[in-house]
Amino acid sequence: MQGMELKRVAITGLGLVSPIGIGKDRFWDGLMAGRSGVDRITRFDAAAFDSKIAAEVRDFDPADYMDKKEIRRNDRFVHFAFGAGRMALEDAGFAITPQNATQVGVLIGSGIGGATTWEEQHRTLIERGPDRVSPFFIPMIIINMASGIISILLGAKGPNSSVVTACATGGNAIGDAGRIIQRGEALAMLAGGSEAAITPLSIAGFCSMKAMSTRNDEPKKASRPFDAKRDGFVMGEGAGIVLLEELEHAKRREAHIYAELVGYGMSGDAYHITQPDPEADGASRSMRNALHDAKMKPSEIEYINAHGTSTPYNDRTETLAIKRVFGEHAHTVAVSSTKSMTGHLLGAAGGVELIACVLAIEEGAIPPTINYEFPDPDCDLDYVPNTVRKAPVRAAMSNAFGFGGHNATLIARRYDGH
């Protein structure tokens, strides 16, 4: 994009489906209360599984957002995405009309997609035969259908795409959507991630990898990023979607601007299918690239919402990456992992966690890392342990790292009117 005069990108709408609350207000209240959304799995009988806990969304009714026919024809991850997308538009006070439809796009991803449908229809195939598999099976499982259904039902005719980069998906989706606006190819984009993978096969697969916490007797304490006794991540579900808008367009319609999206960086570890590079090269470059894009110094970042999965490898490596990028400021910048409360929403994590950053800027408060009890010598930063911290935040960074060595970093900054 060298030589181009880039548009500026405002964040004007927030939509959330999370294990600690539906909508931005309930989500924020949950973060401020340090409330854990983790409990025993109820979506299926998990008695035989090593990990019997998850952060489920328990109070979401798709009928609040979609009609019955569309509910039947779409997987749970699309229900979440559509609900969060509707919320983001309503929060922004933005209407998609015949006049602006070709300038409004959608870019939403998922790490796994229609897991519930896949397992249900495979069971139907085995028990009842191939003729009984739903004709909607394929469109219900494919990941791009979150963007597709939002576009179809809301009439958004602009750039329409999807991202799949495992747990970096939400960050990449928002960053890529921001680039589309910067290039002048859309006035507004609904962007983020959605995930609904709390299913027997998904949980079994992650258990077999020994990636998940088995602290089954203390579900609320199981997700404990950066704590010395962390033993794996806890799966969550939900969606985090933002409305990105070209700044001048947002100003003309007098929209509330939560923050400006100023930095996007990404990189590849080129190391291992699941483990992060132990030297933190990829994560470091992702953060540096975002800072370069934002034309900001490390010292200007006041809050980092860490990827912070509660796994031994990730938390140690991310700590090292922050030290390498931030130098002396690494020990003064506030770092927290909201996954301690929401669990790990996989492809939706980057969207949900950018929203946490935006609300930290908006509200002047930093969410805590709950369950931080036992310091780890390898994780020695300021993790905002256990209690919310009231503090002004001008600029915040969100990290999202995924299997396959995918790294995405976003930076949001308070909009001061200039």
Which stretches does DSSP call E strand in 286-405? Answer: 303-305, 334-336, 365-366, 389-390, 395-402
**Among 56, 61, 59, 22, which residue's Cα sits nearest to residue 42?**
56
Does the annotation count 167 as an active-site position? yes
User: How many CB atoms neighbour CB 297 within 10 A?
Assistant: 10
Question: What are the C-alpha distances in Å from 43 to residues 40, 50, 146, 302?
Answer: 9, 16, 22, 39
Alpha helices by DSSP H, listed for 198-348, are 200-208, 247-252, 281-294, 312-326, 339-342
> What does the block give as tokens for 404?
């396959």
Q: Which of 307, 357, 379, 406 is catalytic?
A: 307
Does the annotation count 329 as an active-site position? no
Q: What is the identity of the amino acid at 371?
A: N
**Under 8 Å between Cβ of 82 and 231:** no
d(CA 214, CA 53): 8
Alpha helices by DSSP H, listed for 99-168, are 115-128, 137-141, 145-154
**Under 8 Å between Cβ of 409 and 397:** yes
Does the annotation count 207 as an active-site position? no
**Among 185, 145, 179, 178, which residue's Cα sits nearest to residue 162?**
145
| Secondary element (H or E) of residue 178 | helix 169-182
d(CA 274, CA 167): 11
**Under 8 Å between Cβ of 51 and 407:** no
Q: Which of 79, 167, 379, 406 is catalytic?
A: 167
**Apex 337 CA angle, 333 and 340, nearest 5:** 150
Q: Which of 79, 292, 331, 344 is catalytic?
A: 344
d(CA 22, CA 290): 29
> What is the residue whose two structure tokens read 């394929």?
138
d(CA 409, CA 335): 14
Catalytic amino acids? 167, 307, 344
